[in-house]
Structure 1
Amino acid sequence: MHSKDTGIFVMEKRALVILAPGAEEMETVISTDVLRRAKINVTLAGLDSAEPVICSRNVCIVPDMSLDDAVLRGPYDIVVLPGGLGGSKRLADSEKVKSVLISQESAGGFVAAVCAAPSALLSHGISKGKQITSHPCVKKELEASGQYSYSEARVVRDGTVITSRGPGSCFEFALAIVTALVGEEVAKEIAGPMMLPTV
């Protein structure tokens, strides 16, 4: 798209959010909503299909398309993994997700995971040696692997990997993604109308 102020061509940023059955619905919706407020083009992709997905609290979310179709429309600037124990296990067990994450990391793109979803990073061998955080329920697993430096911070960014702790930190998580992709000023602009503390 063109910037009206400068006339300079600006490449639109693109995010892929992978939605698995049993995902934490707050993490899925907050991440998608906040990124769209920042004018990031978000594709919400169903892990198994484009059919409605039942999340961890029985909220039903309809993805934009299947992950298979979304992959064909790549590449993406960031791949986002919402948590939820059931959803995270499906992400960790999925060969499709493994392929997407390996390709994303190989291309130098961002990867983000919240709550229990960092366990999928471990399962697929992604972001080894990085500092990360997670929900406490998967902390021991991540620490015991010896693959990461674990932090108790609410949101951690280490290079191209962004992780966070859970539903209560998800606005901060999403704003950290916005900052990484389009800058801190945009993150501040969208935080205000949502009545969030400025970043």
Structure 2
Amino acid sequence: MSKKLLMLLPSGAEEMEFVICVDVLRRCGVSVTIAGLGGKQITCSRDVVITADTTLNEASKGEFDAIALPGGLGGSKAMAESTQLGEVLKSFETNGKIIAAICAAPTVLLAHSIALGKSLTSYPSFKDNLSDKYRYIDDKRVVIDGNLITSRGPGTAFDFALKLAEILVGLDKVKQVSSGMLYSLN
């Protein structure tokens, strides 16, 4: 049975982080459900419009093994302000499910008091916002602490997606997929 991931898509999301994560995970055989925050037609940070599979309201009724939050200033602000997403994240945390956030999205975790005290990373400009409540790591592209996976930005999106896939489906599948993409695993 394939692993299931809920991928958030808020208005203002960083397209590269979102698309790379969804694409890599689907190539690895993960069943990805794209949940739009506030609707299904979402305009991202660079004016790319993406159609979500469903809304967060509908998707929150399903069962998932992991949740992933793309970065982007506008998208992270929208996710931080969503009480419904906060409830979903608290449920994932309580049940020990995987929570993944890249770029500005770790600020969403802070806004909803998720994974407090754990090690994480983010886009460098958010370090000061996060270092009071988390053990901030700024010399790694991807940081894993238990069920929390974080990464730094668009340039680390492949590393982020492949590490998330490795946790969900295993290293053998990730090696096969990364080889096919001509991506060298570090």
TM-score under structure 1 normalisation? Answer: 0.91
Partner of 1:3: none
State how 1:31-110 maps to structure 2 within 5 Å: 31-50=21-40, 52-72=41-61, 74-110=62-98
Q: What do the CA deviations read for 1:114-164 (whole angstroms, capped 9, x no partner)? A: 000000000101111110000012111001xx2210001110111100000
Report the Cα offset of residue 184 of structure 1.
1.1
State how 1:171-182 maps to structure 2 within 5 Å: 171-182=158-169
Q: What do the CA deviations read for 1:3-41 (whole angstroms, capped 9, x no partner)? A: xxxxxxxx3200000100000011110000000001100
Distance 2:50 2:69 in 1: 15
Partner of 1:141: 129
Distance 1:89 1:131 in 2: 22
TM-score under structure 2 normalisation? Answer: 0.97
Distance 2:125 2:46 in 1: 18
Query: Which residue identity does 1:26 align to in structure 2?
Result: M
Partner of 2:11: 21
Distance 2:2 2:178 in 1: 20
Q: Which has the higher contact order (CA 8 A, sep 6+)?
A: 2
State how 1:119-134 maps to structure 2 within 5 Å: 119-134=107-122
Distance 1:186 1:43 in 2: 20
Unaligned runs of 5+ residues in structure 1 are 1-10
Distance 1:95 1:108 in 2: 20
State the number of aligned residues.
185
Name which one, 1 or 2, has greater alpha-carbon Rg.
1
State the secondary structure of the residue aligned to 2:6.
strand
Distance 1:128 1:36 in 2: 30
Distance 1:58 1:136 in 2: 24
Report the Cα offset of residue 62 of structure 1.
0.6
State the secondary structure of the residue aligned to 1:138.
helix
Distance 1:117 1:191 in 2: 25
Structure 1 residue ranges, 4+ long, deviating more than 2 angstroms after superposition: none
State the secondary structure of the residue aligned to 1:192.
helix
The partner residue of 1:114 within 102, 114, 120 is: 102
Report the Cα offset of residue 198 of structure 1.
2.5
